[in-house]
A and B are shown apart, each in its own frame.
Chain A
Amino acid sequence: MYLFSNAIIYLGLAISLYSLLIITLGISTKNQKFVNSGKGGIIALLLCSSLAMLSLLYLLGTSQFQYVYVSDYTSSELPIIYKLTALWAGNSGSLLLWTFFLTLYTAMIAFSRKMKGNPMVPYISAILMANAVFFFFILAFVSKPFAILDAIPIEGKGLNPMLQNPGMIIHPVTLYLGYVGLAIPFAFAMAALILKNVDDFWIKMTRRWTIIAWLFLSLGNIFGGQWAYVELGWGGYWSWDAVENASFMPWLTATAFLHSVMIQERKNMLKVWNISLIIVSYALTLFGTFLVRSGVLTSVHAFANSNLGLYFLIFMAIAVIGALYVLMSRYNLLKRSAGEFQSLISKESSFLVNNLLLVGAAFATFWGTIFPLVSEAVRGTKVTVGLPFFNKVEAPILLSMMFVMAVCPLLAWQKSTVKNLRKNFLVPAIIAVAAMGLMIFLGMHKAWAVIGYGVIALLLITHFLEFYRGVKARRKMTKEKPLVALYRLMIRNRRRYGGYMVHLGIAFIAMGIIGSQNYDLETMKTVPLGGSIELKDYRLNYERLDQKKEGVNDIVYADITVFKNGKKLGTYQPEKVFYGNWDQPSSEVSIISSMREDLYVVLSAWEDDGKATFVVKINPMMNWLWVGSFMIVIGALFAIWNGKYGNVTPRYTGVCKEVA
């Protein structure tokens, strides 16, 4: 097994190198045979990465502790599912998973039906192969997943209990799919530039892949937040940790691209800008990996320190310099077709403002993340840039973003006149202001919250109007029933209405964030057995403290009966788990959830006489966050679904070059 698995990695490196060279040779000598041979190499490479991953899964599943990776991240009593998911618990395993996704995506594109006959394919394959060479090189020489120990340990070190949670199974996988996914639009962009062919087909394919990567990135962040909320006993979901920022930045720039590419599609403008956004998004994924794996910044997500980060930094530098070179050499070509705007106020302008704010938010995040390093370099003092900074700096930017999102649907393409603005905005604006007045009247006095909810109200109204007007217009012509008209309207304009669904999802998430950040209540009390804690309308009766054993873990738990306004809600058991093979205990919180608020109970400590300390939190509107997240997924899937009327990505029908 040792020989086999290591051989597979070296073979992978050789094949990826071969494919890269032979495809490049095929392109330069216009020899289809060479290109086809390279494509065969891609399949072989997918096979290699799959076999390597299966080998590691097998070793993890059967607890072969002679392997460093297996003994570092698992132990024999670990449930089988966590033994397997330990694949992405450490550096080399997660890079192997990354490599697998990369080869999978590459094969999907190289053998896509839609891309058949497209001269971009060899270029895209070559660029992705260059990525694969890098990853196989890392797996073969820097971070070896199949390294072996001299002596076989009896037991492994075990998996960090924080990672033993369903959220942890899926959070890294989705995030990696998103990260790797952004390499695809990058490869498309580079191929298009090299071929001097930034056409409509390119836009459609690139956007589609960007939405896929964007969706996975969103999912990755959402699952991460959800995991933090239920597992860390802290009651929060986003801490602006360096690594969270690293995944948030490409998300922002990819979002910006998804909007500005519409201008390119309609007006044939902003080509340089769009390609820059793709390059930046891709570079940011590598930068994020550099942050996680280098240890230059302290982070809860950081992997064990290694010099791996340096390799990523070098690779990122090469990729960015190469990309900029290609972009500059094609600059005149892209510049030539610059178009024009008809008015200062139009949908096009609002998209540009959206881009400004999204990229601005990404820059603010970047600046805050690297500021400790900048400060240390400039004046020798290492400062911490944490949650209070990001909350203060990002809130106004993202709120302005929400405002643009609210206003944009009602702006006309080309040109909006004052009359047209008044007609479209008067009613929504009045309702939104009235809603804000009502909030103040009902006792909401926090300015940010009132403004935030006001903007969200405006957003909901303008989006409702979009659906309403669409249905009305359709019914005028087709005389369909309202629901039928709505359904047909949506499936015939998937991108547009999928996008609106995503907007609504973002609005719900924003509602959850504003509610939980501004109106949360918290208390920490020590009570004797039989005592009670009161917080707002809730009363928690502390009934019992006991201990149980689950496998090698000891669990201390408390029975708490919860009443709301005197009505019993049930008995809950917050726990503290002490692990047989891990020093740090962890909290299993009890969450009583409703659309209005979550009651969040943590068993913090206890004494011999039965006294126990609890942290009790009320987090308003948390469920809106999860509902909004769900809508984002539905909206994004709706937008990229290839239905009967999808025609989202037509088959390539352009000119056939020498090699494809």
Chain B
Amino acid sequence: MKNKVYLGFLILFVIFQTPLLRVHAAEFDYKSAEFKAVASQFRCTCGCGQDHFECDPNTCNETKEFKQDLVDMMKKGWDKDKIRDYYVNIYGEEILTAPEKSGFSLAAWTLPFAAIGIAGAGLFFVIRKWVKRKAPDETNETVQDIEEEVEGEILSSLIDEERKKYL
């Protein structure tokens, strides 16, 4: 009997939970950080040029439904990568706001850094060459200190000023 009462309470509890859950679903914060991580991966195709995080559900029906689907998946416990894979399988890479980091699209991510790396290495060798060119006739020159340099500049500008006054 006791168990039945407990079970009854449990059922009642679950029944009362349902509307609460619904309210919760309706008031899901579409601007929360966790939703942003998921939704900003996908491009809205209504022509707004925004992602599904930014696009306003009050003016765009497409994002309204999309957002609802995302929330449902998040509630099922799917993480952002799983949700991403799900949509990429259906729509292809086109739905993403940034290219994948695999296959040909990897070139988008790596080429800038590769170019800077190669150019950087080239720059290093060029400067070394220029320094070497200098090396043979290098004497024990005094190294200009910053302070001296600034002083030098000021001195020359003062001299220049005096010169202008008298010439």
Note whether A and B form a binding pair. Answer: yes
Give the docked Cα–Cα distance between A476 and B54 (Å).
Answer: 58
Give the docked Cα–Cα distance between A413 and B146 (Å).
Answer: 8
With A352-B123, A371-B108 given, name 14 new contacts (CB 8 A).
Answer: A340-B134, A356-B119, A371-B99, A385-B98, A386-B51, A386-B98, A417-B143, A424-B146, A473-B150, A478-B158, A493-B153, A585-B59, A605-B58, A615-B31
Q: Is A2 an interface residue (CB 8 A)?
A: no
Q: A383-B96, A417-B143, A604-B58 are in contact. Are A489 and B154 (CB under 8 A)?
A: yes
Q: Is A422 an interface residue (CB 8 A)?
A: no
Q: A356-B120, A492-B157 are in contact. Are A604 and B112 (CB under 8 A)?
A: no
5 A–B contacts from the bound complex (CB under 8 Å): A340-B134, A360-B116, A367-B108, A386-B97, A388-B41
> Across the interface, which residues of A come within 8 angstroms of B130, CB to CB?
339-341
Q: Is A299 an interface residue (CB 8 A)?
A: yes
Can you list the 7 inter-chain pairs with the closest CB atoms, starting with the nearest?
A: A364-B112, A605-B58, A360-B116, A389-B98, A341-B130, A386-B97, A522-B31
Give the docked Cα–Cα distance between A339 and B27 (Å).
Answer: 68
Within 8 A of A (CB), among B89-117: 92-94, 96-100, 104-105, 108-109, 111-113, 115-116
Q: B149 to A342, Cβ gap below 8 A?
A: no
Q: Is A337 an interface residue (CB 8 A)?
A: no
Q: A384-B43, A415-B143 are in contact. Are A613 and B31 (CB under 8 A)?
A: no
Q: Is A41 an interface residue (CB 8 A)?
A: no
Give the docked Cα–Cα distance between A367 and B107 (Å).
Answer: 10
> Across the interface, which residues of B come within 8 angstroms of A356, CB to CB?
116, 119-120, 123
Q: Is B20 an interface residue (CB 8 A)?
A: no
Q: B109 to A393, Cβ gap below 8 A?
A: yes
> Across the interface, which residues of B come within 8 angstroms of A417, CB to CB?
143
> Across the interface, which residues of A come within 8 angstroms of B155, CB to CB?
477
> Across the interface, which residues of A come within 8 angstroms of B31, CB to CB?
522-524, 615, 617
Q: B112 to A360, Cβ gap below 8 A?
A: yes
Most A C-beta atoms less than 10 A away, residue of B127, B130, B144, B147: B130
Q: A352 to B105, Cβ gap below 8 A?
A: no
Scoring B residues 25 to 56 as 1 if CB is less than 8 Å from chain A, else 0, what string do you get?
00101111100100011010000011100101
Contact of A342 among B27, B97, B99, B131 (CB under 8 A): B131
Give the docked Cα–Cα distance between A584 and B58 (Å).
Answer: 12
Q: Is B81 an interface residue (CB 8 A)?
A: no
Closest chain A residue, CB of each to CB of B54: A234
Q: A382 to B120, Cβ gap below 8 A?
A: no
> Across the interface, which residues of B come within 8 angstroms of A386, CB to CB?
43, 51, 97-98
Q: B40 to A388, Cβ gap below 8 A?
A: yes
Q: B116 to A340, Cβ gap below 8 A?
A: no
Closest chain B residue, CB of each to CB of A368: B108
Give the docked Cα–Cα distance between A477 and B155 (Å).
Answer: 8
Q: A524-B31, A525-B27 are in contact. Are A300 and B49 (CB under 8 A)?
A: yes
CB A35 to nearest CB in B, in angstroms, measures: 35
Contact of B92 among A353, A381, A393, A420 (CB under 8 A): A381
Q: B131 to A367, Cβ gap below 8 A?
A: no
Contact of B49 among A241, A388, A420, A472 (CB under 8 A): A241
Chain A positions near chain B (C-beta within 8 angstroms): 234, 241, 298-300, 339-344, 349, 352-353, 356-357, 359-360, 363-364, 367-368, 371, 375, 378-379, 381-389, 392-393, 397, 410, 412-417, 420, 424, 469-470, 472-474, 476-478, 489, 492-493, 522-526, 584-585, 604-605, 613, 615, 617, 645
Q: A412 to B146, Cβ gap below 8 A?
A: yes
> Across the interface, which residues of B come within 8 angstroms of A489, CB to CB?
154
Give the docked Cα–Cα distance between A428 and B158 (Å).
Answer: 30
> Across the interface, which residues of B come within 8 angstroms of A241, CB to CB?
49
Q: B149 to A413, Cβ gap below 8 A?
A: yes
Give the docked Cα–Cα distance between A161 and B151 (Å).
Answer: 57
CB A46 to nearest CB in B, in angstroms, measures: 36
Q: Is B85 an interface residue (CB 8 A)?
A: no
> Across the interface, which residues of A come within 8 angstroms of B56, CB to CB?
604
> Across the interface, which residues of B come within 8 angstroms of A410, CB to CB?
146
Give the docked Cα–Cα distance between A344 and B155 (Å).
Answer: 28
Q: Is B4 an interface residue (CB 8 A)?
A: no
Q: A412 to B108, Cβ gap below 8 A?
A: no
> Across the interface, which residues of A come within 8 angstroms of B104, CB to CB?
375, 378-379
Q: A412 to B144, Cβ gap below 8 A?
A: yes
Closest chain B residue, CB of each to CB of A492: B157
CB B14 to nearest CB in A, in angstroms, measures: 26
> Across the interface, which residues of A come within 8 angstroms of B151, CB to CB?
473, 476-477
Give the docked Cα–Cα distance between A492 and B155 (Å).
Answer: 11
Give the docked Cα–Cα distance between A541 and B30 (Å).
Answer: 20
Q: Is B162 an interface residue (CB 8 A)?
A: no
Q: Is B128 an interface residue (CB 8 A)?
A: yes
Closest chain A residue, CB of each to CB of B47: A298
Q: A473 to B123, Cβ gap below 8 A?
A: no
Give the docked Cα–Cα distance between A450 and B130 (Å).
Answer: 37
Q: A353 to B123, Cβ gap below 8 A?
A: yes
Contact of B131 among A343, A360, A393, A420 (CB under 8 A): A343
> Across the interface, which residues of B come within 8 angstroms of A340, CB to CB?
130-131, 133-134
Q: B30 to A389, Cβ gap below 8 A?
A: no
> Across the interface, which residues of A come within 8 angstroms of B123, CB to CB?
352-353, 356
Give the docked Cα–Cα distance between A299 and B50 (Å).
Answer: 10
> Across the interface, which residues of B come within 8 angstroms of A412, CB to CB?
143-146, 149
Q: Is B161 an interface residue (CB 8 A)?
A: yes
Scoring B residues 44 to 85 as 1 if CB is less than 8 Å from chain A, else 0, what string do you get?
000001110010101100000000000000000000000000
Q: B146 to A469, Cβ gap below 8 A?
A: yes
Q: A352 to B108, Cβ gap below 8 A?
A: no
Give the docked Cα–Cα distance between A393 and B161 (Å).
Answer: 49
Give the docked Cα–Cα distance between A344 and B126 (Å).
Answer: 10
> Across the interface, which residues of A come within 8 angstroms of B143, CB to CB?
412, 414-417, 420
Give the docked Cα–Cα distance between A234 and B41 (Å).
Answer: 17
Q: A299-B49, A343-B131, A393-B112 are in contact. Are A414 and B157 (CB under 8 A)?
A: no
Most B C-beta atoms less than 10 A away, residue of A359, A368, A384, A470: A384
Give the docked Cα–Cα distance between A352 and B129 (Å).
Answer: 14
CB A337 to nearest CB in B, in angstroms, measures: 13
> Across the interface, which residues of A come within 8 angstroms of B116, CB to CB?
356-357, 360, 363, 397
Closest chain A residue, CB of each to CB of B50: A234
> Across the interface, which residues of A come within 8 angstroms of B119, CB to CB?
356, 359-360
> Across the interface, which residues of A come within 8 angstroms of B109, CB to CB?
389, 392-393
Q: A387 to B97, Cβ gap below 8 A?
A: yes
Q: B49 to A298, Cβ gap below 8 A?
A: yes
Q: A356-B120, A356-B123 are in contact. Are A524 and B29 (CB under 8 A)?
A: yes
> Across the interface, which residues of B come within 8 angstroms of A472, CB to CB?
147
Q: B49 to A352, Cβ gap below 8 A?
A: no
Closest chain B residue, CB of each to CB of A475: B154
> Across the interface, which residues of A come within 8 angstroms of B149, CB to CB?
412-413
Q: B134 to A414, Cβ gap below 8 A?
A: no
> Across the interface, which residues of B come within 8 angstroms of A353, CB to CB?
120, 123
> Across the interface, which residues of B come within 8 angstroms of A420, CB to CB?
143, 145-146
Give the docked Cα–Cα distance between A525 and B112 (Å).
Answer: 41
Give the docked Cα–Cα distance between A299 and B47 (Å).
Answer: 10
Give the docked Cα–Cα distance between A387 and B112 (Å).
Answer: 16
Give the docked Cα–Cα distance between A88 and B154 (Å).
Answer: 47
Q: B98 to A344, Cβ gap below 8 A?
A: no
Q: B105 to A383, Cβ gap below 8 A?
A: yes
> Across the interface, which residues of B come within 8 angstroms of A375, CB to CB?
99, 104-105, 108
Within 8 A of A (CB), among B137-167: 138, 141, 143-147, 149-151, 153-155, 157-158, 161
